[in-house]
Amino acid sequence: MSDQLIRHDTHCRLCGGNRIATVFKLADTPMEDQFVIGPLEQPFFPLELALCEDCGYLHLPHIVSPEASYTDYVYVSSLTVGLTHHYDQYAQKIINDWAVPASALVVDLGSNDGSMLASFKRQGMQVVGVEPAASIAARANQAGLETVNDFFTAEVAANITGKYGKASIVTANYMYANIDDVTEFTRSVARLLGPDGIFVVETGYHPEQMKIRMFDYIYHEHFSYFTVEVLQHLFAASGLELIHAEKTAPKGGSVRLVAQLKSARRSVDPSVGELIGEEHASGMRDAETYRKFAREIADAKHQLLSLLMGFKAAGKKIAGFGASHSTTTLICHFGLAPFIDYLVDDNPVKQGRYSPGFHLPVFSADKLIADQPDYVIMLGWQHRHSIMAKHPLMNGTQWIIPLPELQIV
């Protein structure tokens, strides 16, 4: 494990405090989305959650270099179940709710294949994306969605404003948690915004995810696990004011936030204080809340492994459905690799590859029809309803649903 690949922070990256408590130590895990063409040695890195007891920031103290994540990045937004439809609704709602004028400039940060840009473009907006993964940025540009292939910095912000002017909307969709120096990143957003512009963040929201035992959203690309309270302080330190917050459904529970420049004139919506109040009532600043959650996950692991050991002892064949960041966390932390013969996934980019670290082969779902395993573990359990509807199992094959409660369907 090279020092250039990983570092260990012993202080809070937001407030600088050193009262850092480890609250959930997961199994060491390879880079979760590095599905490879052929089996090769891949390093495993420490994966744990820590809480700053001064400001309440929940984060990974072990940081793997973003360059390691995005060199051979294969995740594509448009293939995530339901996300394109969600972005269409999302873009329309932002424009309507905040009275954004026609043809205004929208900049999407971490824009991936341009799915969010396309949604805004369909609403008549001028769009520019910023995406560090070269192959995916090229894909967006080929689709006519102008995309800067770079990490977002103050220099990139200056280049965009020099070419297009200030932005009316800046969005960060499921990427804000992936930023190492998130304070400097947010200050660069403030430089990009017009006087009445808004910064809209949608990110996973662990206060909701924990209710369904969704621990597999924890992985190395997600450096931060934000509460509304922490984001309110982060925005304020970066020249912005949080004015609206709401829960949204994707990814097992998310939160959408709207901020403006401190000099802007919109009032702060009561939703901000209401969600912060809920966070306090739920103990989101209490280390024991997360340690209790870790114990619940340990119990779920024990139940599943006991079941699988019995099936393997009886000679049963077991496949896994899902090849993504979260399924790697689930396989590693629950120790599932010895029980799974292969993986299937609907994403053609993953098919023909091998899973990170354990190198389970990935096939299309047609493999289930040809092979007829006894059981299929629903690794992508958050999407179980849509997956089960699309892929009815045949000839006695049964689904194993590991979370939030263990079920055989």
Q: Which of 278, 226, 256, 275 is nearest to 52 (CA)?
A: 226
For residue range 339-356, what is the model confidence (pLDDT) as tens digits?
999 999 999 999 999 999
> For residue range 81-95, what is the model confidence (pLDDT) as tens digits?
557 788 899 999 999
Given 285, 314, 343, which residue is the final one in a domain? 285
39 lies in some domain:
no
Q: Are residue 161 and residue 259 in the same domain, yes or no?
A: yes
340 and 199 part of one domain: no
In a domain, 60, yes or no: no
SS (H, E, C) 65-110: CHHHHHCCCCCCHHHCCCHHHHHHHHHHHHHHHCCCCCCCEEEEEC
The count of domains in the chain is 2
With DSSP H G I counted as helix, E B as strand and the rest as coil, what are the percentages for the chain, rounded to 5?
A: 35, 25, 40
In a domain, 51, yes or no: no
Residues 255 and 360 reside in one and the same domain: no
Per DSSP, helices labelled H in 144-226 are: 154-164, 182-192, 206-209
Judge contact between 78 and 102, C-beta under 8 A: no
In a domain, 213, yes or no: yes
Question: Residue 265: inside a domain, yes or no?
Answer: yes
Among 255, 285, 315, the domain boundary falls at 285
Q: Are residues 151 and 206 in the same domain?
A: yes
The residue range of the domain holding 398 is 304-408
243 with 323, same domain: the answer is: no
pLDDT for 85: 83
Kindly state whether residue 241 falls inside one of the protein's structural domains.
Answer: yes
Evaluate whether residue 38 is within a structural domain.
no
Does one domain contain both 89 and 159?
A: yes
Whether residues 271 and 329 fall in one domain: no
The structure tokens 């009262």 sit at: 19
Strand order in the sheet with 147-148: 147-148, 126-130, 105-109, 167-173, 193-204, 254-261, 240-248
Residue 3 · residue 44 · CB < 8 Å: no
pLDDT (tens, 9 = 90+) of the chain, 409 residues, equals 344 689 999 999 999 999 999 999 999 999 999 999 987 889 999 999 999 999 999 999 999 987 665 555 555 655 555 577 888 999 999 999 999 999 999 999 999 999 999 999 999 999 999 999 899 999 999 999 999 999 999 999 999 999 999 999 999 999 999 999 999 999 999 999 999 999 999 999 999 999 999 999 999 999 999 999 999 999 999 999 999 999 998 889 999 999 999 999 999 999 999 999 999 999 999 999 999 999 999 999 999 999 999 999 999 999 999 999 999 999 999 999 999 999 999 999 999 999 999 999 999 999 999 999 999 999 999 999 999 999 998 889 999 999 999 999 9
**If we measure between CA atoms, which residue out of 220, 295, 211 comes closest to residue 49?**
220
Do 279 and 359 sit in the same domain of this protein?
no
Question: What residues contact residue 363 under an 8 Å CB cut-off, 6+ apart?
Answer: 342, 343, 344, 351, 352
Whether residue 87 sits in one domain with residue 233 = yes
Last residue of a domain, one of 253, 285, 317: 285
**Token pair belonging to 182:** 């998130």
**276 and 312 share one domain:** no
- CATH of residue 402: 3.40.50.720
For residue 229, the domain's CATH number is: 3.40.50.150
Same domain, 116 and 149: yes
Give pTM, 2 decimals: 0.92
Within-domain flag for 136: yes
Do 273 and 387 reside in the same domain of the chain?
A: no
